[in-house]
Chains A and B, each alone.
Chain A
Amino acid sequence: MELTQKNMSTSAVGIAGAPNLRFWNTTNGKKAIMAVTGVILAGFLVGHLLGNLQIFLGRDAFNRYAENLHNLPALVWGTRVVLLLAVGLHIWSTVQLADRKSSARPVAYQKYTPQTSTYASRTMYMSGPIVAAFIVYHLMHFTFGTGGTEYHYYDPYGNVVAGFKVLPIALAYVVAMGLLSMHLRHGLWSFFQSLGLNHPAYTPKLKGAAAVIAVLIFLGFASIPVAVLLGAVKQDIF
């Protein structure tokens, strides 16, 4: 009888009060931070893409856009600080969550058959770090001019053309944009889910919208190296 009562009470499961974890120390908190920082980075992508697409307006228009941007140091540096913070928190959360992920299932299944999840959603911890590595090279390439191709500070248009005339570099950019697009496809709608917004009528639409936006962003960014490779955007006399 005594044993039965013990088994029936919470003492059987050894509850000693829930651990007093702070918001940041829960996986749910880290995912919320990931959602907010992720959407900030995605927002930047849209602005960055709209700026980049001006390359199709010709050398003068593109270089003027770059010059105008550099004449707005508050905007440029404000954006950079926000992005650095967002990237830092996004990566910090990733590292901690990846650690949790590997400790949560130490013994792998001999057989595991995914049922409904997308390839994009299962590979977030791979597409993310690869895109991060790409961003490092991208900054070296077009911001610091140390990417290994011809670079002139006052001629961003020429830098782009010179940079993408090298086939492996152009292909690497297209592949990186493909991975970024996959990351966005899952990340954009996950933003809502991680922050607690899910509705049977709207969530499927959000998933659809995320896929469309991801494809559009891929097509937009990939169009530039492809256009240079095909000779549609080419070097002319400066």
Chain B
Amino acid sequence: MRLTFHIWRQPNTGAPGKMERYESANMNPDMSMLEALDVLNEELMGKGTEPVVFEHDCREGICGSCGFMINGVAHGPQSKTTVCQLTLRHFKDGEELYLEPWRANSFPVLKDLMVDRSAFDRIIAAGGYVSVPAGSPQDANALLIPKTEADRAMDAAACIGCGACVAACPNASASLFTGAKISHLGLLPQGQPERNERALRMVRQMNGEGFGQCGNIGECEAVCPKGITLENIARMNADFLKASVCERPKSGAAEDAA
């Protein structure tokens, strides 16, 4: 199988980048997109060209490390599939593929197809946790959670933080990611004590990182490899609205702690 790649090459964050054209006849329909790049990189190294840098880890679609744009679609043409799970049988022999990194001001390109997503880590660190006394385990049924709520929390928790939502959004908004993280804790009883504070802190951090606004257009939902829905963004908006109205000036112990 023969494929032509147009790949964004950029030596480092500050340097200018450009699309480079590579051809390979050693492609196999059973390969994943990342294996195709592995093969291409072997060929490039043989020719003395620097290999294409891309991020990856588990290669089974659950770690959230990989991802880039293929022909203008985050993670490529197969829905609910990361690039590591995307096989070449979804492409035609001789097809031209345009590979670009996620593009957002808050995701600076480190090299080629690899971007720095620490902005996501900082959003999580701002409030994506529950403060629980981690003592001896409590009885399994002490805290009752309705099945529907548990399912919705689980659906939101499926977010792997790959960044495809930001990449696909014309505004480079991180609303789907932040919405998923706020919802998955906010739907569970353990997440209630910090629910308002979490929404305020995570939304503020998201805004401070420079991500764009949500335009409710749904491109993020369409490319999300884990099927996170826009409902999570609405939940974030509702929680943030309520928390903004209910926010009190910090006083006493809270101020001392901060």
Cβ of B201 under 8 Å from chain A: yes
**A9-17, A59-67, A71-79, A144-152 - interface stretch:** A9-17
Contact B241 A195 (CB under 8 A): yes
Cβ of B71 under 8 Å from chain A: yes
What A residues does B122 contact at CB under 8 A? 13-15
Give the CA-CA distance A100 to B238 in the complex, in Å: 22
Closest to A14 in B: B122
Closest to B212 in A: A104
Contact A116 B171 (CB under 8 A): no
Report the interface size for chain B: residues with CB under 8 A from the other chain: 59
Closest to B208 in A: A19
Chain A positions 140-185 with a Cβ under 8 Å from a chain B Cβ: none
Cβ of B31 under 8 Å from chain A: no
Contact A113 B73 (CB under 8 A): yes
A182 to chain B, nearest CB (A): 13
Binary CB contact string for chain A from 1 to 35 against chain B (1 if under 8 A, 0 otherwise): 00000000010111101111101011111111000
A4 to chain B, nearest CB (A): 16
**B32-40, B48-56, B214-222 - interface stretch:** B214-222
Which residues of B are interface residues toward A (Cβ below 8 A)?
Answer: 6, 8, 19, 69, 71-73, 98, 100, 103-106, 118, 121-122, 125-127, 168, 170-173, 200-205, 207-208, 210-219, 221-223, 229-231, 233-241, 244, 258
List 3 tightest A-B contacts by C-beta distance, closest first.
A196-B238, A198-B234, A104-B212
30 contacts between A and B (CB under 8 A): A14-B118, A17-B126, A17-B258, A18-B127, A19-B204, A27-B211, A28-B241, A97-B213, A100-B171, A100-B212, A101-B212, A103-B105, A104-B210, A105-B103, A105-B212, A108-B103, A109-B72, A111-B100, A115-B73, A121-B218, A122-B217, A190-B215, A193-B216, A194-B216, A194-B237, A195-B238, A196-B239, A198-B231, A200-B231, A203-B230
